Amino acid sequence: MKKFLKISLALMLFVGISTALSSCYKKKDTIAILTFVDANDDPVNGVEVTIDYIDGTGTYEHREGLDQTGTTDGSGKVSFNFNELYKSGQAGVFVLDVKVNGTEVGIIRVEEETTTEETYCIGC
C-alpha cells in the first residue's frame, strides 16, 4: 500500500509541475523596427515605408500579414508587428523587401518571437 501511495504522489507531483511549467510560457512579440536616416545620420520623419514578400524567384507574392505599410515618426522609426502570423511553438523566418516610395532600399530578415531592428540611409 505504501508503494502505491508513493507512486501516486510522484505521478501527481509530475503532472502538477508539468502543468505549471507549460502554462508559464508567454509568447513573445515578433516585431520589425526600421529606422531611416539621411546622409548626416539624422532621423527622417514622414517617410512612407512598405514591406512586402518576394518569393525565391524574385516575383512579388501577396501574403496576408507580411505586406504592410507605415510612416516613420520623429525619430525616423516605423514598427511592424507580425504577432498574428505565428502560433506558439511555430518556427519560421522570412525575408521582406523594404521600399520607400516604391523603390527598394533593402531587405529585412524577421525571426519569430524576436524584435529585429535595421537602419536604412535615404539619399546616401
Q: 79 lies in a domain?
A: yes
Residue 45: CATH number of its domain: 2.60.40.1120
**Residue 32 pLDDT:** 95
Number of domains observed in the structure of the chain? 1
Are 30 and 86 within 8 A, CB to CB? Answer: yes
C-alpha cell at 32: 520589425
pLDDT at 36 (0 to 100):
97
Q: How far is residue 117's CA from residue 108's CA, in Å, rounded to a whole number?
A: 9
Domain-embedded: residue 1:
no
Domain that holds residue 96: 28-121
Residue 83 lies in a domain: yes
Query: What pLDDT does residue 23 have?
Result: 60
pLDDT value, residue 112: 87
pLDDT of residue 21: 58
Q: What is the pLDDT along the chain (124 residues), one digit of tens a residue?
A: 666 566 666 566 666 566 655 566 677 889 999 999 999 999 999 999 999 876 666 655 666 667 899 999 999 999 999 888 776 666 678 889 999 988 999 999 998 889 999 999 998 8
For residue 56, is it within any domain? yes
Do the domain assignments include residue 11? no
Nearest Cα residue to 47 out of 23, 72, 22? 72
Residue 63 lies in a domain: yes
Residues in Cβ contact with 33 at an 8 Å cutoff, skipping those fewer than 6 apart: 77, 78, 79, 80, 115, 116, 117, 118
